[in-house]
Amino acid sequence: MASGFFALLDDIAAIMDDVAAMTKITTKKTAGILGDDLAVNAEKASGFVSSREIPVLWAITKGSMLNKIIILPLAFLLSAFIPWAVIAILLFGGLYLAYEGAEKIYEYIVPHPQDVVVDLKKDYTEDELLEKEKAKIKSAVVTDFILSVEIVIIALGTVVNETLVTQIIVVSIVALIATVGVYGIVAIIVRMDDLGLKLISKSNGSRGFLFGIGTFLVKALPIVIKSLSVIGTIALLLVAGGIFVHNIEYMHHFLEQIPSLLRDFLIGLVVGGVCLLLVNGFKMLFLKKG
């Protein structure tokens, strides 16, 4: 009886060792898309009245958790009954990531009409503010859903050959890290300027240590968000290229003589450029017909 109990403990320990190892690998695989998730959500969560930033961020976080609750069971069902569908969705996700990365570069290089940004720090009535706040939260949750699908599928693709129990534990941990980690960092980022202003106010007008740190934090916020956007774009192309390299035999042996990071980036950029040309071509075609 005792030997059976210890054998069970050994099995559990072995499973947890596998889970820890696979979680580490999977987190590395999803790090790129997590960087983009962080950049996107930092932008989405900014622009609110200071007193509403944390409540709004909490609302987006709850929406993100609900997204994961919807996505995870569907992903595990696909893995259990239609495993090839995971790879297919992974490749389609790679196309989307490559397209999104290429589109960001295209928008930066080529002049285009700017989207109208709603600044919730302006003077609105309470009802108007609440309505615009709800719209921005909804937009953030929808964006999070798309990114969550990508994160879960990439994570699942990493452990698709493991047992279902290992898949469930590893992907669930990665999904939890994606939510708690990303939105925890976003909360710190969006409060940087408020912390800076508090430090400046405590300096009593003297240009000392507190004033210097406070000024740095206030000025650093837009730079941090912009930098995250650039890093996120590069990460999108790297992740997309990695998906194609590891799941398409031809690309696996393509440009083997150059560093793998550069190869992944170039493949992601080329595929993204082709997708961008096709999408823009279809848009122009439909506009002409219209």
**Residue 260's pLDDT is what?**
81
Q: Are 35 and 228 in contact (CB under 8 A)?
A: yes
For residue 99, give the nearest of 236, 290, 272 by alpha carbon. 272
**Whether residue 286 has pLDDT greater than 50:** yes
How many domains does the chain divide into? 1
- The Cα–Cα gap between 40 and 225 comes to 9
CA-to-CA separations, 27 to 13, 44, 131, in angstroms, rounded: 21, 23, 37
Angle (nearest 5°) at CA 195 between 59 and 139: 25
Residue pair 149/71 in contact (Cβ under 8 Å)? The answer is yes
DSSP 108-154: HHS--PPPPPP-TTS---HHHHHHHHHHHHHHHHHHHHHHHHHHHHH
Spatial separation of the C-alpha atoms in residues 25 and 246, rounded to whole Å: 14
Give Cα 225 distance to the centre of its chain: 14
Question: For 67-103, what is each residue's pLDDT tens digit?
Answer: 888 988 988 888 788 878 878 887 888 888 889 889 8
**Inter-residue contact 34 to 182 (CB < 8 Å):** yes
pTM of the model: 0.69
Helix (H) or strand (E) holding 73: helix 53-81
pLDDT category, 5, cuts 50, 70, 90? very low
CB neighbours of 189 closer than 8 A, spacing ≥ 6? 42, 46, 221, 224, 225
| pLDDT tens per residue across span 226-270 | 787 787 788 778 878 888 887 787 777 777 778 888 888 999 999
The H or E element that residue 200 is part of is helix 192-202
Q: Which domain range does residue 260 map to?
A: 2-289
Closest CA to 118 of 43, 197, 50: 43
- The predicted pLDDT at position 277 comes to 93
Cβ 87 vs Cβ 249: under 8 Å: no
Tell whether the model's pLDDT for residue 210 goes beyond 80: no
* Secondary structure of residue 285 in the 3-state scheme: helix
> CA-to-CA distance for 55 and 32, rounded, in angstroms?
27
